[in-house]
Amino acid sequence: MESVWEKSAQRPKFEKLNGNASTDVLIIGGGIAGILCAYKLKNAGVDCILTEAAEICGGITKNTTAKITLQHGLLYDKLIKRFGENKAKRYLRAQMHAGEEYAKICHGIDCDYEIKDSFVYSLNNKEKIQREVATLNHLGIKADFYGATELPFKVAGAVCVREQAQFHPLKFLYAISKDLPIYEHTKVTQLKPYTAITNHGEISFKKLIIATHFPILNKHGGYFIKLYQHRSYVIALENAQKLNGMYVDESDTGLSFRNYENLLLLGGGGHRTGKKGGCWNELETFAQKHYKNARIIDKWATQDCMTLDAVAYIGPYAKSLSNVYVATGFNKWGMTNSMVAADILCGIIKGRPAPFAEVFLPSRSIMRPQLAANTFESIIGLLTPTVPRCPHLGCALKYNRAEHSWDCPCHGSRFTMDGELIDNPATDDKKIG
């Protein structure tokens, strides 16, 4: 199943690595985070190479709903409670800067960039919404409370932040990637100190950025316990509602809405990877009830890495590794957080760290309630006696009936019916049956 983005953008092609190479900075992973890192570094005059095991934007990036907003659910009230006002302000500044960077780079690029108001709504908790409105205003962002919206159902309230944006992610990324030093179909099979072994040669480097959605170095950083993965689903509807804004439910299992040209993109049906959820059926049922004359044009699914505290992990990969950096755990907000990652990592490499870099340090405390849930799922997955098992760390795979795949509830690896790898952290195919 292809997203609307794949069907409406012309993908550039890049050669595979042919023999050995060397670079100051090697970037592994050709999604939005890796491409933005390469773009920023190249423009800063830094020698870099990006390697992609398949084709750029061929993983999670092509399945985003592509909202560019500083609103990441009802986050800012939570950030103040977890980290204090100072860090909440720096997180906010990072997201604002990301939005400003997109506006600047998109100028002159045909990528359907549009200014839109952003709404986060709640079905049943007006007080939550009011707290977030007050928090944003306190932090210096003009936010408004709405008791009703243009959505086809009642809400308890919604937070509105004006002049955010949406765009066509692949048109944008294909445009900025054309002149970047990228090798496609070049899979890193082994990492040694300052050397990457690929299927087409070796690359020596001085610094390394791992931007592979879920980090691929299992023995460092503890990402297998600091992250879990969450699936969500999208249907593109023709003859549905034309919205003036972008909307998302404050609940992880709620619905999101945005338009693209004549289509309404309806997202939701989410669940932890390897668990049961509403999937496309939930979205189709909703559309039949509220958009009776609509027709489903496309449908697709995506997967997000979720951190313990709703803040991405961006910075040094682990204390045990020198000159290795990571960008992961964007918590469903990969557009702005990818730009934040590029700014932070480019700044570190240039010796000028961004003022908000400390907020995203991967080495921060892991003592959060989600840690217990992740540990429990890992133990259950390891102790479940069924087969097949995930080659990543050995958890039992679960069959996903909606997508006809084998999914890992521990860490989110996914495989086709024939065992071909779909999503990492696993790095190789799995023999099924």
313 assigned to some structural domain: yes
- Contact (Cβ atoms closer than 8 angstroms) between residue 204 and residue 195: yes
* Residue 177 maps to a domain: yes
Residue 387: per-residue pLDDT: 87
Which pLDDT tens digit goes with each residue over 311-334? 999 999 999 999 999 999 999 999
Shared domain for 33 and 22, answered yes or no, is: yes
Across 15-39, b (16+ Cβ under 10 Å) vs e yields eebeeebebebbbbbbbbbbbbbbb
Tell whether 284 and 333 lie within a shared domain: no
User: What local confidence, expressed as pLDDT, does residue 328 receive?
Assistant: 98
The confidence score (pLDDT) of residue 253 equals 87
> Exposure string (b/e) for 130-153, b if CB count within 10 Å is 16 or more?
bbbbebbeebebebeebeebebee
Distance CA 367, CA 251 (A): 23
Torsion of CA 309, 140, 332, 238, to 10 degrees: 160
The tokens for 270 are: 């989410």
Cis peptide before 388 (omega within 30 of 0): yes
In a 3-state reduction of DSSP, which class is residue 187? coil
Quick one: 389 and 275 in the same domain? no
Q: What is the pLDDT of residue 208?
A: 98
Neighbouring residues of 278: CB distance < 8 A, sequence distance ≥ 6? 233, 253, 268, 269, 270, 271
User: Using an 8 Å Cβ cutoff, are 336 and 98 in contact?
Assistant: yes
Quick one: 242 and 271 in the same domain?
A: yes
Q: Which amino acid is at 170?
A: L
Are residues 162 and 200 located together in one domain of the fold? no
Residue 431: its pLDDT value, please?
84
Q: Is the pTM of this model over 0.85?
A: yes
- String of b and e for 324-363 (b: at least 16 CB within 10 Å)? bbbbbbbbbbbbbbbbbbbbbbbbbbeeebbebbebbebe
How far apart are alpha carbons 11 and 175 in whole angstroms? Answer: 9
Q: How many domains does the chain have?
A: 3
Q: What residue numbers bound the domain in which 34 lies?
A: 4-64+170-225+309-360
DSSP E strands, 156-227:
157-166, 182-183, 188-192, 195-198, 201-210
- Decide if 91 is inside a domain: no
C-alpha span between 279 and 403 (Å, rounded): 9
Residue 302 covered by a domain: yes
431 domain-assigned: no
State the CATH number of the domain containing residue 232: 3.30.9.10
Contact 195, 229 (CB under 8 A): no
Residues 139 and 284 reside in one and the same domain: yes
323 & 353 share domain: yes
In a domain, 240, yes or no: yes
**pLDDT score, position 48:** 98
Domain end among 260, 282, 306 = 306
E strands in 66-148: 67-68, 114-122, 143-146
Q: How far is CA 92 from CA 303, 337, 361, in A?
A: 24, 11, 16
Are residues 151 and 272 both part of a single domain?
yes
- Three state DSSP letters for 347-363: HHHHCCCCCCHHHHCCC
Regarding whether 231 and 144 lie in a shared domain, the answer is yes
272 and 318 assigned to the same domain: no
**Does any domain span residue 47?**
yes
Domain C-terminal end among 335, 360, 385? 360
With beta carbons less than 8 A apart as the criterion, state whether 314 and 362 touch.
yes
Q: Are residues 156 and 245 in the same domain?
A: yes
Same domain, 214 and 352: yes
109 assigned to some structural domain: no
Which among 283, 306, 329 is the end of a domain?
306
CATH number, domain with residue 323? 3.50.50.60
* Segments of the chain with pLDDT less than 50: none
Place of tokens 């479940």: 384
